[in-house]
Amino acid sequence: MINLEKTSGLPIQMRDDYSLEFGAGLPAVVPSVREFSAMKSYLKDTSVTFWNKGVYYMYRDIARTSDREKITASGAQYDITVVLPGKMGDEFSKTIGHYHSFEEGTMARYPEVYEVLYGRLFFVIQSASPDLERLGQVFAVRMERGEKVLVPPGFGHVLVNPTDDVVVTANWQPSKNVSDYSSYEKHNGAAYYCVESNRLGASGKTTSSTPEFVPNLNYKTLPPLVSARPRELPQYNLRAALPMYFTGMQDLSKLDFLVHPSKYADELAAEKLLVI
């Protein structure tokens, strides 16, 4: 069992089969499963296989019983995702990727905040025009346990697990958000794929295996990939040292930017949210 309470702020443990166990005061949630068979059209190579039927597990709308009413009233929602390790051909295990819906009556898409509860990962985030046809910026955000990243309005995102261990993330998102997967399916994934790169030594033998990013040529235009790190955002109570469920419940009004992003347009530019 892996105890996730320190990083999540909630009585949650992960069993050896990667399922979550919920403790006292925290109603159990049945996960939605992203099966590999449903991911083929989002992959670099659609003919490959995966070692498990499920690739990742989404536990949606988690809340302590005592917090449920407040969270619902805020318009926010707290989720946890478990992404198994492994490769799909030379691609590392990942989520399929999606964009968010628009805040009602505006041209601002909803943002989202992610937190790493366990493991190491990359987020590949990419901005697009309102019709999702033209890309603007693409970032590969490297993240460690405890760190948070705010995915800006208008950016789609894919989570990549480039390790031999499981990855667990939490997120706050607007409860009204509707995910749009269509562009990622149309292009067989994100703008860049994260693949295994085998380094050769002087002897000609493989000496190391590291992740690297290769372009997805299904996109008509490809902006350069920019490496980034998450930035601490104390104005939203987002700090690496504190679980964001805990800080969110301290003051749910700090999450208003999720529900009303049009009011925070200047603050939510990628350059202000990432260390580039």
Give the tens place of pLDDT for each residue, 48-101. Answer: 999 999 999 999 999 999 999 999 999 999 999 999 999 999 999 999 999 999
Q: SS3 helix, strand, coil % of the chain, rounded to 5? A: 15, 40, 45
Domain residue spans of the chain: 2-275
Query: pLDDT band for position 198 (50/70/90)?
Result: confident
Query: pLDDT band for position 255 (50/70/90)?
Result: very high
- The answer to whether 234 touches 242, Cβ cutoff 8 Å, is no
* Backbone CA torsion sign across 100, 103, 104, 107: negative
- The answer to whether 55 touches 83, Cβ cutoff 8 Å, is yes
pLDDT digits 0-9 by tens, 2-40? 999 999 999 999 999 999 999 999 999 999 999 999 999
Mean pLDDT over residues 205-225, rounded?
86
30: its two tokens: 């049945």
pLDDT digits 0-9 by tens, 125-178? 999 998 898 999 999 999 999 999 999 999 999 999 999 999 999 999 999 999
Query: pLDDT band for position 202 (50/70/90)?
Result: low
- The answer to whether 177 touches 261, Cβ cutoff 8 Å, is no
Res 204: pLDDT: 57
pLDDT digits 0-9 by tens, 90-131? 999 999 999 999 999 999 999 999 999 999 999 999 999 988
2-275 CATH pick, 3.30.70.20, 3.40.50.720, 3.30.420.590, 2.60.120.10: 2.60.120.10
pLDDT digits 0-9 by tens, 223-248? 999 999 999 999 999 999 999 999 99
State how beta strands 12-14 and 87-88 pair: unpaired
